[in-house]
Amino acid sequence: MRIEPLGQMEMIQGNEFIKNNDAKQVVGFSDFLNQALENVNALEKNADHSRMLLASGKIDNLHQVMIDAEKAAIAVQFTVQIRNKVMEAYNEIMRMQIG
């Protein structure tokens, strides 16, 4: 069994991600987070669009509508969990005593 690498990031240097492509484009951490949030937003919009098409009778593929809705729900849940972990880490750092 072969496990494929993620492929989106090659390595992390400091607070910058180097994308795995020919140009070796360097993306900052905030840019990376913004792109991830835009992807979640796109999934939400796609799910809403699918629901509207189903409600208007333009499509009858209920399975695809449910798949789109679940993709969006999972992406939102994952984003919330990441936010919770970041906040826990921040609070832990703030509780540290320096000196």
Contact 59/65 with Cβ under 8 angstroms?
A: yes
The 10 Å Cβ neighbour count of residue 66 is: 14
Domain ranges of the chain: 9-95
Gyration radius of the chain's alpha carbons: 19
Q: Note the pLDDT tens digit of each residue in 23-59.
A: 566 678 889 889 999 999 999 999 999 999 999 999 8
pLDDT in tens, 69-99: 999 999 999 999 999 999 999 999 999 988 7
In contact, 17 and 27? CB cutoff 8 Å: yes
